[in-house]
Structure 1
Amino acid sequence: MLLRPLRGWAAGALRLVRPGSPRSPASGPRPRGAHRGAWSPDKDRGQEKEKKSVICIEGNIASGKTTCLKFFSNTTDVEVLTEPVHKWRNVHGHNPLGLMYDDASRWGLTLQTYVQLTMLEQHMHPQMTPVRLMERSIYSARYIFVENLYRSGKMPAVDYVVLSEWFDWIIRNIDVSIDLIVYLRTTPETCYQRLKMRCREEEKLIPLEYLDAIHCLYEEWLIKGSLFPVAAPVLVIDADYHMEKMLELFEQNRKRILTPEKRKHGL
């Protein structure tokens, strides 16, 4: 049942793609930002979209993403999109997030299908300000959490392939390009201690080994560059510090995160 809404998105996206645009899977993924103009034949609207920036805040569970987003949330011309966790906890009365943590082998595909759909919604949400900060992205949903389920043996190969095919189709045909990844880099041990302090219901079942696996995948993806393509430049901020120090670091990196001119010339 959860695949039905995603099919609806696919059909809608096909109607929005300009006629004559190449869509052959054999051509491979486009370079980042190459399909920014695919949504509108109007040149001015395309240029208007180009002026807007999308920054994704990435990191392990309890790495400080919420703190970072709250810090910038009152900044002029900045909008914040948090992870739609409330949707993952309640799909017409069902809690696929809780089910997945309870039995990942049974419910991993169910949750990740819905995560992929809701993160796609986040990327496609009309942007009203010059700068958008997003908590994670459709990329980390696939490259980190789906990948972890598969590597840990809790997702069958057929489920992994189906989700991967959906993801590959999305990035070829829909504009989910981003301009910067801010990686809040933490040790698994720090995240584990923070989890125990904040006591969220589903997170009570998360062991240190799970956080370590997520950390390793983030390191492979964003630091070593050996896992999957990186969708944007990466700004790494060490995030093992206490709250006051983290707020200082966010302030020190404000221009690097929020100013488009800084990103155009590299970090």
Structure 2
Amino acid sequence: MNKSLRLAIEGNIGVGKSTLLNTLPAQLGDNWFPLPERADEDPEFRRLLNEFYADPNKRVNLQAWITNSRIEECKTLRADSNYIFERSFIGDMIFCHANFMRHERPSGELLGFYYDIMKAAKDHPLDALIYLKASPETCHSRILDRSRAAEDGIPMSYIRYLHGCYETHLPEIARTLNIPVIEIDWESFQKTEYVAEKLENFIQNGIYGTTIRKIA
């Protein structure tokens, strides 16, 4: 493989992105590196998250912090290494659809912010995106089981709504950015070797830009 690759794992809150990220790079080879989303470990993130739930008008502050952190991280990546992101600018755009763009008339600030994220996605392109798909009920159950402080109190209704946003907007955004999507049924956790094999076949086939979605 001559080209260094950048992949991302996307899916609803609680689907199991970090679980896969912890084991997948080792299955792909020595030159693959995971990029976990460490937002929930940052005090500023926790402050903005509390603000997010307390005042819907300030929700853009949280997403701006996450997106800007992601941009800075991308600037540090080596050109000769392969990376797997836990969430990406694509997830940021879906978050915008879920929380801002659904307004009848989004403000100019929100629209501008959305297109800033799209520009960042174009400036730091992905070679493919792994979409882990599970029912809202399964995701909510996993959230309760892992008991993360940052996710405490997320209602089932929001998980269900976010699931719909992923189903509607992920294919549309991926098509716009010409990013192939490998969709994997994650209702039950698959073996990491299974996902690695799907990725290896995808990479070897060299089908970048020729398909939007490949069902695993």
Which residues in structure 2 correspond to 1:1-267 (within 5 Å)? 51-75=3-27, 76-86=30-40, 89-91=42-44, 95-100=47-52, 102-127=53-78, 130-142=81-93, 144-151=94-101, 153=103, 157-171=107-121, 175-223=123-171, 225=172, 229-241=176-188, 243=189, 246-247=190-191, 250-258=192-200, 260-264=203-207
User: 2:199 and 2:179 mapped to 1: Cα distance?
Assistant: 13
Q: Percent identity?
A: 22
TM-score by length of 2: 0.82
> Which of the pair has the greater relative contact order for Cα pairs under 8 Å at 6+ separation?
2
Distance 1:226 1:77 in 2: 28
Letter in 2 for 1:80: P
Q: Which has the higher Rg, Structure 1 or Structure 2? A: 1
Structure 1: 5+ residue runs without aligned partners?
A: 1-49
Distance change >3 Å, CA 62–CA 207, structure 1 → 2: same
Spell out, residue by residue over 1:191-214, the C-alpha distance to the aligned partner (whole angstroms, 9 max, x if none): 111111111112122111111111
Runs of 4+ in structure 1 deviating by more than 4 angstroms, as ranges, are none
CA contact (8 A) 1:217 1:227 kept: no
Alignment length (residue pairs): 207
Residue 235 (structure 1) shift: 0.6
Q: Which amino acid in structure 2 is aligned with residue 63 of structure 1?
A: V
Per-residue Cα deviation, 1:159-188 (whole angstroms, up to 9, x for no partner): 41231242244356xx31111110000111
In structure 2, stretches of 5+ residues that fail to align are none
Shift in CA distance, 196/146, structure 1 to aligned 2, threshold 3 Å: same
**Relative to structure 1, is the Cα distance of residues 204 and 94 closer, same or farther in structure 2, using a 3 angstrom cutoff?**
closer
What TM-score, normalized to structure 1? 0.68
Backbone CA RMSD of aligned residues: 2.9
Per-residue CA deviations over 1:111-164 (Å, capped at 9, x if unaligned) read 11111101212333223654211111112202x1111112455x9524412312
Residue type at the aligned position of 1:234: V
Q: Output the CA distance in 2 between the equivalents of 1:77 and 1:158.
A: 42
